[in-house]
Amino acid sequence: MSIMKVSFVVLCLTCILGISFFPTAIQTVNIEILVALQYDLPGYSTGAVFTRPAFNLSQRNSVKKYDGAHNITLRYFQNISHKSCDEVMANNVNDLSAYLYNQQERRNDTCYSIVTNDCNDQSGLSGLAAGLDILMFSYNPGTLFKDYLDPKSGPQTTVSVGVTSLGYAIAILRLLQYNQWRRSALLVETTAGFYRDLATIVLERAKLSLSWIYLLEVLRLEGGISDHELQAALETTKQNNRIYILLMTVKLALRVMQLTEEAGMANGEYAFINVQPFQVAAFGFASQFSRTQNDTTKSTALRSLIFITYRSPRSDLSELNSQIAERARTLHNYTYPNGIQPLDSSIGTQTAYDIVELFALLVNESSIHRNQLPACNGLSLAERMANRTFSLTTGKMYISPGRGRFLDLDVFALNTSTLTLQVIGMYDSGNRTFTWFNGWTIPWPTINGKPPTDVPACGFSGKEGICAAKALSSLISTLIAVVACVSILMAFALVTRWFVLHFNGPTETQHWKLDGGNLRFAMMTVSATLSEGFYMVFADRR
């Protein structure tokens, strides 16, 4: 009997301890992600056909990852009838406000987040998210007007997971500093917003730099620029620059590279940097710079080219790509072109997958940290993301101190054997450092194989630097030669004069000669008498 009592007590204590120390083990966390993106508008990579398959697949995989501890729900605030961003903006804020108001009773046991982009009223939605203390993911950071290095800048519960131009700008400035380049020219294609914004931010960040002084010249290129005008732009800017940052499409950058031969800029003394946000048709591909083995023209200039673009997701995601493509075909009757993978074709697809996985990760961390139901307030979750690198299924994601995503970048250079651009290194946005792969380097066509300097050895006038010293040395040598010649001539003249005075004066045998200075003239009367053919002259001095 006593044994039964002891067993009963032990069983009760076990139950009590289990309830006390493992309350979350029997409680499921509710997660709702409210997707406020346009359904289908031309020019947007966040349309339903690209993002919904990724959202849905990531939802399924995240639930499986946490073994059912998270109940994840996706709610789409999208309308297939909307044909413009104005129509999208007119409804989403009101629709989301009404929905969240009706969910007040569930706010204590449900973690909410909002997903939006620039085809919406981001200011209104970020204000709504801040007022309700809900985390918001924004695809487009440009319209938020934030400094993504400043933790106190912009809406505090909004995190930008799209393309921040600031990340690219910092990479450009780091590359200039890495190669000891202070002076450079920015050629900016003004027809694309990405290039305009990037040029502006590069200039702003350069002004704020304390560790490195940048001297930047900006030349804006309007749409439809002719080859003659491009040639003039190169001729003008090369008077003061050797390093060129080409903020333009690959198509225009190719034209610039082809004109470098005529401009005398393909001799290894110049460097060119072309930056693209992604490798898509709208911006261009690294493969467009390729040359055939029989076409060696213009390859010298390409050896001076650095091509920088978004680092693609991990290469071992074939199964994940296949699953997303299958969902796109099943749900939206869309088939990806041959050779195109969903995660590589659009940042919208990859980011959709990342958002669900990232939000589930944050909620799970909050649950473990509190040892109870998670703190789902948006401010706390946003602070958890700041200045941090996450290892996700598709790869690494770095969020800056100001809650903006900075993308890792691939660095391409010419393979002189295949005459194609290949990845030789990468830029780590979290550490802000460049890493080179397998000993690959840029095949600079310089004499020493090193990067060209931003200022020529003899300066831009050809008479500075070492040439100025050589010119001064030559001038001094010339002056010395002239002085020596003059001295020799003067010495010769003095010796000659002395010789004349010493050896050409009157001698003892020449004392009979009259001195013309002692001669005097007097008046005389002359008479003549002729006698036998002779004249006789008589002089009488008066």
The distance of Cα 206 from the centroid of its chain, to the nearest Å, equals: 12
- For 137, 216, 408, 511, the CA distances from 405, given in Å and listed in that order, are 11, 26, 10, 114
Specify the pLDDT at position 15.
Answer: 47
Specify the pLDDT at position 530.
Answer: 47
**Would you call 274 helix, strand, or coil by DSSP?**
strand
Largest pairwise CA distance in the chain: 203
In this structure, are residues 33 and 73 in contact, taking their beta carbons and an 8 Å threshold? Answer: yes
Specify the pLDDT at position 344.
Answer: 84
- Between helix 347-370 and helix 318-332 the angle, nearest 10°, is 110
Specify the pLDDT at position 20.
Answer: 41
Rounded distance, CA 491 to CA 396, Å? 84
Specify the pLDDT at position 12.
Answer: 52
Q: How does DSSP classify residue 404?
A: B
Mean pLDDT per 10-residue run, the chain (542 residues)?
46 45 58 94 88 97 90 94 88 90 82 91 87 92 72 89 91 96 96 92 93 94 92 94 97 94 90 94 92 68 94 86 96 91 87 97 80 75 95 94 94 93 95 90 88 86 64 67 78 73 58 57 51 46 47
List all residues 6 or more positions away from 302 whose beta carbon is below 8 Å from its beta carbon: 257, 289, 291, 414, 419
Among positive and negative, which fits the CA dihedral 124, 130, 134, 136?
A: positive
Please give the helix or strand (H or E) that residue 76 lies within, else none: strand 70-76
Rounded distance, CA 312 to CA 410, Å? 8
Specify the pLDDT at position 535.
Answer: 44
Instruction: Show the domains of the chain with their CATH numbers.
Output: 22-163+315-406 (3.40.50.2300), 166-276+281-310+408-436 (3.40.50.2300), 456-481 (no CATH)
Specify the pLDDT at position 407.
Answer: 93
